[in-house]
Structure 1
Amino acid sequence: MTPEQWESDITEAQKAHIDGFALNVGPQDSYTDDVVHKAFAAAEKLGNFSLFLSFDYGTGGPWPVDRVINMVNQYKCSSAHFYYHGKPLVSTFEGTQSVDDWPRIKDATGCVFIPTWTSLGPSGITNTFHVVDGAFSWDAWPVGADDKDTTSDEAWVKALAGRPYMMPVSPWFYTNLPQRQKNWLWRGDDLWHYRWQQIMEMQPAFVQIISWNDYGETHYIGPIYEPGIPEGAAHYVSNHSHDAWRELLPHYIDVYKTRNGTNATTTHRMAGTNAYSPKYPVSYEEKISYWYRTNPSTSGSSSGTTGNNPAMGQKELNPGQVSQDRVFVTVLVTAPSGVQVQIGDHAPTVLRACTAGINHFSIPFNGQTGPVKMAIMRDGHEIVTTTGPAITDQCVDGKVNWNAVVGSSNGTHTA
């Protein structure tokens, strides 16, 4: 990425009320050094945006201790580095084989250490309390055909016994990278909406969004840069912008922060009720946010994709059991409203947004194909409308694309 692209991404993240990026760094080479330098330079230039390093031990193997110490010390004095309780925050992706390296690293850098050692589980993390100051869980997706609940989050919070918990949130997961032996999906569906409601209710110390730009696993919410798409992923990533997943983030994040009572939270790369109303004065645009797959699950080849990841010991399911043939719609309204969703020329489905604020729905394909028209209705008038891409059983190369198309539309109203 160029400095201009870094500045653009940071600006877009700020618009979404994201406080900072966790920089997943690895492997250890001059390219990494160049990228990190550009990121910090852009954040320093723009201001009001934080960065911290998350050392990836899963991609390039264990990091040499001196290399970690030097990188942390190099950037911890940057005006853009994120500090927690007066200390620079540092994280990892896995690296449990290097637990004993961290007392030396912490002593040499003065950092607060909140790693992603999800493989240890809540019970295992207790054995590392001589090292960790908190924990980030990578357990952001449900397993199988169930929706994500907070059972694992509650277990982490209990195990951490008052230490800060960094809670994950992610909108989607589908990867098909045979060269990396990755070809599975986990349920996204309603996850983006309901997970934020869980965050509001649990009030963790931190929230990290997975991810800003991991195109190969399709949970990106940032702009797509074609050179960043991994080899083999272009066929399911190209022309599948996820930018609109950021549309409602200011409202989710602001409610979380308001209830939390602090703005000292960091988000990446920062099942509940059907609706909520913000508990603070708001001025916003009424809008529709939507996402869905354009190919019904039985319309073509599954390309060998499995529901769940058998390599992790999960039961293999048909991907169509996990990723539902439904249109997912979230609306932000200033007053109770009707919501219409119409697929092709079929009769519209009429729903009710009962509460001012955010309301979420999903509608089954029911064998219908064609463009998806959505509208917020009030007093017999269309307040906001948008039309999404056509649902079609004509799959490119005969293969179902399990990635989501994401879009939105808005109109200006003030509450």
Structure 2
Amino acid sequence: MFFAPFIVPALLATLAQAGYGSSRKLHARAGARSGLDTLTRAPNATVDIAERAADTTKYVFMHHIVGSKYPYVQSDWNADIAEIGAKEIDAIALNFGSDSWQKDQMHLAFKAAEGTSLKLFLSFDYTAFDCSVSKTLAYMTEFKSHPNYFYYNGKPFLSSYGGGYDCLGVDGWKQLQNAGNYLMPFMWELENRFSDPWGFLDSWFCWGCAYPQSNEPKNTLDDQWYYSMLGSRYATTASSWMFTHYSWTNKNFYLRGDDWLGAVRWEQLMGMRDQLTFTEIITWNDWGESNYYGPFRYKDAQPTGTYWAEDFPHTALWDMTHYYITAFKTGQYPTITEDVIYFWARPHFASVTASSDSLGPPNGQAWAQDFMWAVAFSTDVSDITLCMGASCTTFTNQPAGVNKLKIPLAAGKMSVKMVKRSVTVIDHTEEGFVFNAASVVDKYNYNCYAGSAKATSATSTTATSATSVTTSTATSTSASSASGLTIGTAATSTSASTSASTSTSASGLTIGTALTAGTTTTATTTAGTTSTTATTVTTSSSSSPTWTSQGCIAEGTTGSRRALNGINTSSDNMTPTICQAFCAGYDYAGVEYGRECYCGNTLTNNGASGLVADAASCDVHCSADSSAACGGTWFLSLYATNGKTATQPAASTDPSTGGWTSLGCVDEGSTGSRRALTGASFSEGGMTPSRCNTLCAAYTYAGTEYGTECYCGNTIQNNGASGKAIDSSRCDSKCGGDSSLTCGGTWTMSVWGKQALPGTTTASTTDWTSNGCYSDSSTRLLRDVFWEDSSMTTELCKSHCTGLGYKLAATEYGSQCLCGNTLYYDGGSGTSLTSDRCNSACQGNTAQSCGGSWTANLYTAPASTPTKRREVQSKRAPRTWQNLWGLL
């Protein structure tokens, strides 16, 4: 977010640490605390997933940045309120800082809302607003009595951007709640603390969950990760684009807004609808980050140096979003009553060089996909043509409903055409945009230009319910069933190069629209069609096969990621039975994401392991049967026939099997792909350290990350990685296959190895000396490394510290291990106690003692003498973390 008049110097350091926004660090996790308090015991992450009171209403908010409204007068606010309210938004989140003029603008906003059903609420931006409870309450008192102020459960709604540990703190937020407010903040650094000490929050929303956090289409793994900790308190966000390019803040990055993000994100939220109460759209007017939906009213409203927003409208995306807002609020997709095509594209190729841009290309440049994107809403079967200049592709017999299409970028203007029953109902060329196909441009611009074209009422046909959602791309070939069944239709490309069209779902589902390559670029011709309905397949079998459930299976990690690579389809009437009927003739049938069906004879295509994962990963209800599970995000609910079965995971859960030793938490790199381990990689919902070690058996190192990812390698200093252990609190993601274990974090890995990390040495743990039982406290007696494992033993802790090069090791609380080279005795820690005070059995070996509650069994490496140190704690100012999403 931006407030044009301000600059935050702290942002530079934060950006340097995170490596631009570095993929998933753009989540709520915009910086891990490194103070001593991060070594305290991790809280229980059990959450209450009960329904929110009796109110089952779904609310959609619009994030509105008051700091970009300095030139606004009353008529401008009147227009904003009208345009936002027309799309069924429930309330506007007014994001603001401390400037008095911003308060004046908020009064204009509330005045504009008078007499309408649209509500507003305050969203304090604590990167620009004073970290003051009293001032916060004063603002609430000033505005909450307005008839258009948004209340929930009888309480005035209070939101924020920031304000956590580095600002108001736990006590400050409790005071705000005790004053009668309903709290829904976004604050970073709360991961694994949502139950304690932040369990009192009414809600919490994830700002960064609106965007993909790596070079792949958006999925809901991040949403589900937070939901696992917050339950019904979780709220999330939706957006369509993200690009920013500022030299004066060193803020220069692009997130993958491709893959129809503005539509796909809402389809994902529909799949999560039962889990959500609040969704916030970001944003109405953040010109600097290219995630605006509103019209551009004033040049002076954008931050200094912004050249990529003014001539790149997004209002068409806002019009398209109305359809999805209605669906989310009502629980069903609305009837399509008019034919319209929404389309958008960037102004140049991803790989260009900018001759007059001293800042350089944005981080994430390589993530940008070189396509024109389109979403077509049609009331009847139609032929749809997309053009970039003279390069056109026609997608024939597209079903009534929503069709997502794309074609490669090419020089010229964007044009769209829709023909229904031989009648052209849309034929439009966007005159305000021309794609520059040159390899060298003046300045980098990864924003998009969005347009739309509607059919006139005279040419629209009978309305249809949106029961069909397909996706087509002019770059790959469709699949056919084993019995010769053709799903979809044929189309013809007028592009000179050979191409093909495939219908694909939001997460890559192939529907199978065949496309015939054209040989000229002068005309578009349409091939004949051979279409059938995917959900009414007839087979030649005289008896129905018997299908048996195999559990939840992870998709692959490479290529299309599809574990099953036969035919596939999608339907809003999907159930396992329908999918099984569709897959007649195949050994496997898998349902995914509530409405998708995949068929195949092998389970291990595109890097898939074929192993049964945690059933919790298949948590999406079937679109036609809410009592049944139909997979998850990149997970299949799998069924088999003909005697086939899926592979169960290995029984061993001991990560040390095979000579592996825990080496602690290790940072990823800072350049290139950022991967410290560059061998094989895997992603499975049931990931554990032992599973990753098994997958990496042929390598020296194995690292788990982000709960479900596994990386292998023989060296651990690739792409700028130091290969050194860091504070274990940075590895805070629970393993997908065992929530009691830790599997890395955001760009950090929990590493196991067959040899020590570079620069460290190994030593026999049998020669360590026991120093007895010592007291511990929140200041910690050993401060270099903290690690927790449900299989903790004395040997495991000593081996862990040995591998990291430390001379002191301590076990505590049955499952914790601390390492260091100095024994601190201050704040109640470091005092020798009688052995009976260390009375917790090691969780990995109950015959051993692993400390107790704030007591630790201390051990010293061979030829070492404990170094004691008393440290007087000085009062330090809290660390200030600036989230990468905004300036102030």
TM-score, length-scaled by structure 1: 0.85
8 Å contact from structure 1 (residues 173, 219) kept in 2? yes
User: Which residue of the partner structure matches residue 303 of structure 2?
Assistant: 230
* Structure 1 residue 216 corresponds to structure 2 residue 316: no
8 Å contact from structure 1 (residues 167, 207) kept in 2? yes
Cα deviation 1:354-389 (Å, max 9, x = unaligned): 442222122122xx2111211122222221232232
* Structure 1 residue 342 corresponds to structure 2 residue 380: no
8 Å contact from structure 2 (residues 245, 362) kept in 1? no
Partners in 2 of 1:213 and 1:237 — Cα distance? Answer: 10
Partners in 2 of 1:207 and 1:36 — Cα distance? Answer: 22
Cα deviation 1:66-107 (Å, max 9, x = unaligned): 110011121111111111111111111011122320121222
* Structure 1 residue 322 corresponds to structure 2 residue 392: no
Partners in 2 of 1:116 and 1:138 — Cα distance? Answer: 7
Q: Secondary structure at the match of 1:125?
A: coil
8 Å contact from structure 2 (residues 346, 445) kept in 1? yes
Assess, with a 3 A threshold, how the Cα gap between structure 1 residues 394 and 408 changes in structure 2: closer, same or farther: same
Cα deviation 1:196-224 (Å, max 9, x = unaligned): 10111111211111100000000000111
User: Which residue of the partner structure matches residue 105 of structure 1?
Assistant: 176
Matches within 5 A, 1:104-253: 104-108=175-179, 110-121=180-191, 123-139=192-208, 140-163=210-233, 165-189=234-258, 190-203=260-273, 204-224=276-296, 225-233=298-306, 235-253=307-325
8 Å contact from structure 2 (residues 346, 448) kept in 1? yes
8 Å contact from structure 1 (residues 395, 401) kept in 2? no
Partners in 2 of 1:144 and 1:169 — Cα distance? Answer: 17
State the AA in 2 paired with 1:350.
T
User: Which residue of the partner structure matches residue 407 of structure 1?
Assistant: 451
Paired residue for 1:22, among 67, 70, 93? 93
Deviates more, 1:396-405 or 1:187-196: 396-405
Paired residue for 1:295, among 345, 348, 353? 348
Instruction: State the 1:325 CA deviation.
Output: 1.0
Partners in 2 of 1:2 and 1:244 — Cα distance? Answer: 25
* Structure with bigger gyration radius: 2
Partners in 2 of 1:279 and 1:353 — Cα distance? Answer: 22
Partners in 2 of 1:353 and 1:196 — Cα distance? Answer: 25
Assess, with a 3 A threshold, how the Cα gap between structure 1 residues 77 and 364 changes in structure 2: closer, same or farther: same
User: Which residue of the partner structure matches residue 311 of structure 1?
Assistant: none
Partners in 2 of 1:345 and 1:248 — Cα distance? Answer: 26
* Structure 1 residue 33 corresponds to structure 2 residue 86: no
Structure 2 unmatched ranges of 5 or more: 1-71, 464-888
Partners in 1 of 2:225 and 2:237 — Cα distance? Answer: 14
Instruction: State the 1:343 CA deviation.
Output: 1.6
Assess, with a 3 A threshold, how the Cα gap between structure 1 residues 118 and 337 changes in structure 2: closer, same or farther: farther
User: Which residue of the partner structure matches residue 64 of structure 2?
Assistant: none
Cα deviation 1:248-284 (Å, max 9, x = unaligned): 222111111111xxxxxxxxxxxxxxxxxx655x363
Instruction: State the 1:64 CA deviation.
Output: 1.2
Partners in 2 of 1:237 and 1:291 — Cα distance? Answer: 14
Instruction: State the 1:144 CA deviation.
Output: 2.8
Cα deviation 1:127-149 (Å, max 9, x = unaligned): 24343101110122112311110
Assess, with a 3 A threshold, how the Cα gap between structure 1 residues 410 and 162 changes in structure 2: closer, same or farther: same
Assess, with a 3 A threshold, how the Cα gap between structure 1 residues 2 and 30 changes in structure 2: closer, same or farther: same
Partners in 1 of 2:323 and 2:262 — Cα distance? Answer: 13
User: Which residue of the partner structure matches residue 315 of structure 1?
Assistant: none
The percent of aligned pairs where both chains have the same amino acid is: 30
Structure 1 unmatched ranges of 5 or more: 260-277, 309-318
State the AA in 1 paired with 2:425.
I
State the AA in 1 paired with 2:303.
P
Assess, with a 3 A threshold, how the Cα gap between structure 1 residues 95 and 294 changes in structure 2: closer, same or farther: same
User: Which residue of the partner structure matches residue 70 of structure 1?
Assistant: 138
Partners in 2 of 1:396 and 1:285 — Cα distance? Answer: 41
Partners in 1 of 2:440 and 2:293 — Cα distance? Answer: 24
Partners in 2 of 1:353 and 1:294 — Cα distance? Answer: 30
8 Å contact from structure 1 (residues 291, 404) kept in 2? yes
Partners in 1 of 2:172 and 2:389 — Cα distance? Answer: 59
Paired residue for 1:87, among 155, 158, 165? 155
User: Which residue of the partner structure matches residue 264 of structure 1?
Assistant: none
Instruction: State the 1:22 CA deviation.
Output: 0.5
Partners in 2 of 1:69 and 1:410 — Cα distance? Answer: 48
Partners in 2 of 1:399 and 1:197 — Cα distance? Answer: 34
Partners in 2 of 1:369 and 1:215 — Cα distance? Answer: 26
User: Which residue of the partner structure matches residue 436 of structure 2?
Assistant: 392
State the AA in 1 paired with 2:434.
A
Q: Secondary structure at the match of 1:391?
A: coil
Partners in 2 of 1:410 and 1:331 — Cα distance? Answer: 10
Partners in 2 of 1:395 and 1:283 — Cα distance? Answer: 41
Larger RCO (CA within 8 A; separation ≥ 6): 1
Q: Secondary structure at the match of 1:34?
A: helix
Partners in 1 of 2:443 and 2:133 — Cα distance? Answer: 46
Which has the larger helix fraction? 1
Q: Secondary structure at the match of 2:232?
A: coil
Deviates more, 1:222-231 or 1:11-20: 11-20
Instruction: State the 1:327 CA deviation.
Output: 0.3
Q: Secondary structure at the match of 1:126?
A: coil
Paired residue for 1:286, among 326, 339, 345? 339
Instruction: State the 1:297 CA deviation.
Output: 2.1
Q: How many positions carry a matched residue from both structures? A: 375
Assess, with a 3 A threshold, how the Cα gap between structure 1 residues 396 and 36 changes in structure 2: closer, same or farther: farther
Partners in 2 of 1:170 and 1:187 — Cα distance? Answer: 11
Partners in 2 of 1:113 and 1:396 — Cα distance? Answer: 49
State the AA in 2 paired with 1:402.
Y
Across the aligned residues of Structure 1 and Structure 2, the Cα RMSD in angstroms comes to 1.9
User: Which residue of the partner structure matches residue 254 of structure 1?
Assistant: 326
State the AA in 2 paired with 1:23.
L
Partners in 2 of 1:352 and 1:195 — Cα distance? Answer: 26
Instruction: State the 1:246 CA deviation.
Output: 1.1
TM-score, length-scaled by structure 2: 0.41
Instruction: State the 1:397 CA deviation.
Output: 6.3
Q: Secondary structure at the match of 1:305?
A: coil
User: Which residue of the partner structure matches residue 728 of structure 2?
Assistant: none
Partners in 2 of 1:349 and 1:210 — Cα distance? Answer: 33
Deviates more, 1:294-303 or 1:243-252: 294-303
8 Å contact from structure 2 (residues 263, 321) kept in 1? no
State the AA in 1 paired with 2:415.
K
Q: Secondary structure at the match of 2:186?
A: coil
Partners in 1 of 2:396 and 2:223 — Cα distance? Answer: 32
8 Å contact from structure 1 (residues 94, 119) kept in 2? no
User: Which residue of the partner structure matches residue 408 of structure 2?
Assistant: 364
Partners in 2 of 1:4 and 1:198 — Cα distance? Answer: 36
User: Which residue of the partner structure matches residue 56 of structure 1?
Assistant: 125
Q: Secondary structure at the match of 1:332?
A: strand
* Structure 1 residue 13 corresponds to structure 2 residue 69: no
Assess, with a 3 A threshold, how the Cα gap between structure 1 residues 397 and 338 changes in structure 2: closer, same or farther: closer
State the AA in 2 paired with 1:55.
F
